[in-house]
Amino acid sequence: MANPLYPHPLIAREGWPYLALAVAAALFLSFAWWPLGVLGWLVALFVLQFFRDPPRAIPDVPGAVLSPADGRIVVVGRARDPYLDRDALKISVFMNVFNVHSNRSPVDGTVVDAWYHPGLFVNAALDKASLENERNALHLRTAGGADVTCVQVAGLVARRILCYVKPGDVLTRGQRYGFIRFGSRVDVYLPLTAKPRAAVGDKVAATTTILAELA
């Protein structure tokens, strides 16, 4: 079904200043010397594609855990959830600079808690990034009582994690809640009873791809 909560245009609001600056620079360079102008417009096109933020259709599947980000699956397996101190099913999505970088809620739920941790900026494709890099985690609880941890992780190039929700806020599946600039990953920790629907190497799209199903 369509996402009725999508309040943004096709270009993420986080990118408006960067796009304006890139277009202004491209125009200036075009008047100064056209070969540099060509390079400037290529940079502007890159900025435009990076900050694209299209609306997404939400699968009408009860219990579905949706991908919170575009990218490639790099982890599916049992792991320790460091935020809720439990064994969990961990699914990680790695985003490169050509993926859409807005982050969406994987489930319908209430934000129980949130944690921000400063850290390093190692390659987000590496598993150690989950514990060493700058990150922001949300504890979501569904109406059925399932606890889901969703973690935004900065990457080698990423230098800014943006999260727009706080404890007590209610999110719906596919609702936009944050953004990470310039390459990163998102980790999702689920109850061990959840059934994975994605495998390492799969390419996924935020909101439209089902990562797992809650029991």
Tell me how many domains the chain contains: 2
Same domain, 203 and 157: yes
Using the 3D structure, point to which of 12, 28, 55 is the last residue of a domain.
55
Using the 3D structure, point to which of 27, 55, 83 is the last residue of a domain.
55
Using the 3D structure, point to which of 29, 55, 81 is the last residue of a domain.
55
Same domain, 71 and 20: no
Same domain, 72 and 173: yes
Same domain, 21 and 127: no
pLDDT reported for residue 10? 84
Query: Which of 213, 201, 212 lies closest to 93, judged by CA?
Result: 201
| Residue 118, SS3 per DSSP | coil
Six-digit token string for 101: 């970088």
Number of H helices, E strands in the chain: 3, 14
Contacts of 38 (CB under 8 A, 6+ apart): none
Same domain, 73 and 164: yes
Q: Provide the b/e sequence for 155-181 (b: ≥16 CB within 10 Å).
A: bbebeebbbebeeebebebbbbbbbbb
Per-residue pLDDT of the chain (215 residues), as tens digits, is: 444 445 556 888 888 999 999 999 999 999 999 999 999 999 999 999 989 998 889 999 999 999 999 999 999 999 999 999 999 999 999 998 889 989 999 999 999 999 999 877 666 666 776 777 889 999 999 999 999 999 999 877 656 789 999 999 999 999 999 998 776 899 999 999 999 999 999 999 999 999 999 98
Query: Which of 204, 209, 207 lies closest to 71, judged by CA?
Result: 204
Q: Of residues 67, 92, 102, 184, which has the active-site annotation?
A: 184
30 is known as an active-site residue = no
pLDDT reported for residue 2? 41
Q: Are 156 and 122 in contact (CB under 8 A)?
A: yes
Instruction: Identify the domain containing residue 8 by its residue range.
Output: 1-55
pLDDT reported for residue 4? 43
Q: What is the CATH number of the domain that holds 111?
A: 2.70.70.10
Q: Tell me the CA distances in angstroms from 56 to 41, 53, 78, 169, 215, one per residue in order.
A: 28, 9, 29, 21, 25
Same domain, 86 and 45: no
Same domain, 15 and 114: no
pLDDT reported for residue 9? 65
Same domain, 75 and 16: no
